[in-house]
């Protein structure tokens, strides 16, 4: 469990996967605040602090972004590019969390600036383990400018 | 054993001596003959009889040599003509590679190389010829061409130039064909890899959902949160349903692409009528108007698969066509051009997002949430597979406000696949 409050932005279109991640995160670390967005357009607004996400206190800059690759409206890669183009988010750790095991997706993710690429595991316990490890590393131990 | 290279120098083997020839070429894989200036065959090895297609049991070919001289059809064939030219021109060396019919009626492709034999004083004595049966090689080349043209849809016209002297494509041209084949196969392999990853992803997604949600529902049950349990169980049902549909689609995608063996004549108008009947509920839901030209052609194909092909394309137009019901018009009509019959399914909506248009006929081209109405993302890919299995072309043509799926059909069935129609410059659709 992290020693301080951690804000995580989850960009995930699959409702079932979002439920699993939310429950897993809650059990792994009660100090985590999860902000869930379902599509690329919403994610862009959040990143650019546009309404309805213009209140920084309500929608803070995340410590870690969990990003799915298949999103309606735009691909996860486009969101990743936008995140890296936005000065405030340039160093924010972005963890790709996807069902895709494609080598091309993995290569493109790192090319576009992802910090890690995690394949969604099978089973709730595995989800807890993967997410717990990722949160601890990227939000607790990792240092960003 | 090496092919003969007679020398004019003193001390070279006596090519007119049968004992010397037997020792040199008796066991050669090449057919070897020695003929004199009267075109009489003085000596030959057994391989010559085999290469020339002589019947089994014929022990020597003096008779064959006589026949070659006597039969008009032999004199008219390339090998006979070569012998006559040898006698007439006395060249030092000649080669020939051409199909011909042997004296016994066997269709062959023989490569002939003939060297002049000179005596000690330099006067010509006769000729020694080596005959190589390259029929198998030519058949292999034909197989490559068949694969290239029919299965990989390669256009060989630019490299299929006949060499005037040999009568067939050059080695370099054949290599170009093979290189193109290799490149195309490499592309196929790459496409297959992408397909496997895509299918794997689409099957894995609901499995991740169900397995993860089982843990969530277990937790909810433990804590007595009934409402949460119901919500999660609904998600599990939904994921299982998606998984089942995806499995079925993958199997259909495989089965419907198999070679079409049984065909019947099909009235496209009657078939479209049946398709519209089965889609009537969906059409009503979307408020779509379907206008079918009464002069659609008669097709020859597999009835069940062709019906499915039209069903998938029309269903796609109904679901993804114009969201404005007053403008939700779908037209099905024929066109002809350059001996090819086209059947066009046209709607006024965006139909297919630009981002996926270039690979719309690949399975799962649309992402999960671009899919509507419980679609699995295999419909148009299925239509494409069915069209391909019939040797028909299928293309998508997009312009602002218009989407056309164009089937290119050759009637009656042509041996070669009909190529896709070149992309047309579209005009806006006028009032029906």
Per-residue pLDDT reduced to its tens digit, A22-71: 999 999 988 899 999 988 889 889 988 888 998 988 999 999 999 998 76
Contact B104, B80 (CB under 8 A): no
Residue with structure tokens 């972005």? A94
Per-residue pLDDT reduced to its tens digit, B188-201: 888 788 788 878 88
Per-residue pLDDT reduced to its tens digit, B61-102: 544 444 455 444 444 556 666 666 766 777 777 777 766 666
Q: Which two tokens stand for residue B168?
A: 């067939």
DSSP string, B334-390: EEEETTEEEEEEEESS--S-HHHHTTTTSTT-S-GGG--TT--S-HHHHHHHHHHHT
Contact B421, B409 (CB under 8 A): no
> Are B213 and A16 an interchain contact pair (Cβ–Cβ within 8 Å)?
yes
User: Has residue A17 got a pLDDT over 90?
Assistant: yes
pTM of the model: 0.61
Tell whether A19 lies on the interface with B, counting CB pairs under 8 A. Answer: yes
Q: Tell me the chain A residues in contact with residue B221 when contact means C-beta distances shorter than 8 Å.
A: none
**Higher-pLDDT residue of B316, B97:** B316
The three-point CA angle B369-B371-B374 to 5° equals 115
Q: Nearest by CB to A125, which of B200, B213, B215?
A: B215
Q: Residue B188: what are its φ and ψ, rounded to 5°?
A: -60, -40
Q: Nearest by CB to B370, which of A27, A72, A125?
A: A72
Contact B82, B116 (CB under 8 A): no
Distance from CA of B238 to the nearest CA of A (A): 9
Residue with structure tokens 């299995």? B389
The three-point CA angle B291-B296-B300 to 5° equals 135
State the average pLDDT over residues B110-116: 82
Distance between CA B282 and CA B290 in Å, rounded?
12
Could you tell me what percent of chain A has a pLDDT over 90?
55
Q: Which two tokens stand for residue B361?
A: 């006929």
Please report the sign of the dihedral spanned by the C-alpha atoms of residue B222, residue B227, residue B230, residue B236: negative
Q: Nearest by CB to A124, which of B205, B215, B368?
A: B215
Q: How many CB atoms lie within 10 A of CB B125?
A: 18
> Are B215 and A23 an interchain contact pair (Cβ–Cβ within 8 Å)?
yes
Neighbouring-strand partners of residue B323 = none
Q: What is the pLDDT of residue B75?
A: 47
Most B-contacting residue of A20, A38, A78, A100 (CB-CB within 10 A), to test interface: A20
Q: Which two tokens stand for residue B333?
A: 């009509």
Q: Residue B428: what are its φ and ψ, rounded to 5°?
A: -60, 145
How many CB pairs lie under 8 A apart between chains A and B?
83
Distance from CA of B143 to the nearest CA of A (A): 35
Q: What is the pLDDT of residue B428?
A: 37
Q: Who contacts B235 (Cβ-Cβ below 8 Å, separation ≥6)?
A: A15, A16, A19, B209, B213
Tell whether A87 lies on the interface with B, counting CB pairs under 8 A. Answer: no
> Are B215 and A101 an interchain contact pair (Cβ–Cβ within 8 Å)?
no
Q: Which two tokens stand for residue B417?
A: 């696949």
Q: What is the pLDDT of residue B156?
A: 61
C-alpha radius of gyration, chain A, whole number: 14
Q: Nearest by CB to A16, which of B194, B201, B235?
A: B235
Q: Tell me the chain B residues in contact with residue A107 when contact means C-beta distances shorter than 8 Å.
A: none
Distance between CA B60 and CA B254 in Å, rounded?
57
Q: Tell me the chain B residues in contact with residue A99 when contact means C-beta distances shorter than 8 Å.
A: 201, 204-205, 208
User: Has residue B425 got a pLDDT over 60?
Assistant: no
Kindly state the helix (H) or strand (E) to which residue A115 belongs, with its residue range. none
Tell whether A99 lies on the interface with B, counting CB pairs under 8 A. Answer: yes
Distance between CA B130 and CA B29 in Å, rounded?
10
Per-residue pLDDT reduced to its tens digit, B241-279: 888 888 888 888 888 888 888 889 999 999 999 999 999
Q: Tell me the chain A residues in contact with residue B204 when contact means C-beta distances shorter than 8 Å.
A: 99, 101, 120
- Number of Cα atoms under 13 Å in the Cβ half of residue B34: 23
Q: Residue A4: what are its φ and ψ, rounded to 5°?
A: -135, 175
Q: Tell me the chain A residues in contact with residue B232 when contact means C-beta distances shorter than 8 Å.
A: 19
Q: Packing angle between helix B226-255 and helix A15-28, nearest 10 degrees?
A: 130
State the average pLDDT over residues B126-155: 75
Q: Nearest by CB to B212, which of A13, A20, A71?
A: A20
Distance between CA A94 and CA A84 in Å, rounded?
9
Residue B378: pLDDT band with limits 50, 70, 90: confident
Interface of B with A (CB under 8 A): 194, 197, 200-201, 204-209, 211-216, 218-219, 231-232, 235-236, 238-239, 367-370
Neighbouring-strand partners of residue B405 = B345, B396
Tell whether A18 lies on the interface with B, counting CB pairs under 8 A. Answer: no
Q: Residue B200: what are its φ and ψ, rounded to 5°?
A: -60, -45
> Are A100 and B197 an interchain contact pair (Cβ–Cβ within 8 Å)?
yes
C-alpha radius of gyration, chain B, whole number: 34
Residue with structure tokens 């019901």? B325
Contact B256, B304 (CB under 8 A): no
Query: ipTM score here?
Result: 0.86
Distance from CA of B48 to the nearest CA of A (A): 58
> Are A16 and B197 an interchain contact pair (Cβ–Cβ within 8 Å)?
no
What per-residue string of b and e applies to B235-265 under the rule 16 or more CB within 10 Å gives b? bbebbeebbebbeebbebbeebbeebeebee
Contact A104, A71 (CB under 8 A): no
User: Has residue B225 got a pLDDT over 80?
Assistant: yes
Q: Which two tokens stand for residue B270?
A: 């009657």
In angstroms, the Cα distances linking B346 to B165, B266, B350, B352, B426 are 52, 21, 11, 12, 11
B415: closest CA among B160, B146, B152?
B146
Per-residue pLDDT reduced to its tens digit, A98-127: 988 888 889 999 999 999 999 999 999 999
The three-point CA angle B127-B130-B135 to 5° equals 140
Q: Who contacts B79 (Cβ-Cβ below 8 Å, separation ≥6)?
A: B68, B96, B100, B110, B112
């Amino acid at each position: 469990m992290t020693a301080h409050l951690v804000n995580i932005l989850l960009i995930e279109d699959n409702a079932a996967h979002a439920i699993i991640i939310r429950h897993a995160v809650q059990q792994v670390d009660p100090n985590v605040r999860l902000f869930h967005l379902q599509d690329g357009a919403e994610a862009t607004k959040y990143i650019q602090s546009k309404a309805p996400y213009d209140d920084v206190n309500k929608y803070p800059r995340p410590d870690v972004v969990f990003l799915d690759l298949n999103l309606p409206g735009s691909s996860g890669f486009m969101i990743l590019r936008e995140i890296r183009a936005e000065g405030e988010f340039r160093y924010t750790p972005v963890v790709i969390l996807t069902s895709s095991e494609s080598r091309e997706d993995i290569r493109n993710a790192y090319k576009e600036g992802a910090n890690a690429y995690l394949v969604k595991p099978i089973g709730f316990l595995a989800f807890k383990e993967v997410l717990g490890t990722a949160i601890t590393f990227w939000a607790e131990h990792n240092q960003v400018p | 054993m090496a092919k003969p290279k007679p020398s004019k120098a003193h001390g070279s083997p006596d090519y007119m001596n049968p004992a010397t020839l037997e020792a040199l070429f008796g066991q050669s894989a090449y057919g070897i003959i020695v003929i004199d200036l009267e075109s009489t065959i003085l000596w030959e090895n057994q391989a010559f009889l085999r290469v020339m297609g002589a019947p089994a049991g014929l022990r020597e070919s003096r008779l064959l040599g006589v026949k070659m001289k006597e039969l008009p059809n032999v004199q008219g064939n390339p090998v006979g003509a070569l012998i006559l030219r040898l006698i007439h021109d006395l060249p030092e060396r000649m080669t020939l590679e051409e199909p011909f019919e042997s004296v016994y009626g066997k269709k062959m492709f023989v490569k002939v190389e003939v060297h002049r034999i000179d005596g000690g004083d330099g006067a010509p004595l006769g000729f020694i010829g080596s005959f190589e049966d390259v029929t198998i090689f030519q058949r292999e080349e034909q197989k490559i061409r068949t694969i290239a043209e029919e299965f990989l849809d390669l256009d060989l016209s630019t490299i299929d130039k006949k060499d005037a002297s040999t009568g067939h494509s050059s080695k370099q041209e054949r290599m170009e064909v093979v290189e193109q084949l290799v490149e195309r196969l490499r592309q196929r392999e790459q496409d297959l890899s992408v397909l496997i990853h895509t299918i794997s992803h689409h099957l894995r997604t609901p499995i991740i959902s169900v397995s993860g949600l089982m843990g969530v529902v277990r937790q909810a049950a433990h804590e007595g949160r009934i409402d949460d349990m119901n919500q999660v169980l609904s998600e599990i049902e939904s994921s299982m349903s998606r998984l089942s549909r995806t499995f079925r689609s993958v199997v259909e995608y495989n089965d419907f692409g198999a070679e079409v063996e049984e065909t019947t004549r099909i009235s496209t108008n009657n078939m479209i009528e049946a398709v519209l009947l089965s889609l009537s509920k969906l059409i009503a839901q979307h408020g779509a108007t379907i206008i079918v030209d009464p002069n659609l052609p008669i097709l020859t194909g597999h009835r069940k698969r062709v019906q499915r092909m039209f069903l998938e394309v029309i269903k796609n137009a109904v679901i993804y066509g114009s969201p404005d019901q007053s403008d939700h018009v779908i037209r099905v009509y024929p066109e002809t051009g350059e001996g090819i019959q086209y059947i066009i399914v046209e709607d006024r909506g965006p139909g297919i997002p630009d981002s996926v248009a270039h690979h719309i006929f690949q399975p799962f081209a649309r992402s999960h949430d671009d899919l509507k109405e419980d679609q699995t993302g295999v419909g148009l890919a299925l239509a494409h597979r069915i069209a391909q299995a019939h040797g028909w072309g299928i293309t998508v043509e997009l312009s602002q406000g218009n989407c056309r799926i164009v089937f290119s059909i050759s009637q009656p069935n042509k041996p070669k696949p009909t190529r896709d129609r070149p992309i047309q410059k579209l005009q806006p659709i006028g009032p029906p």
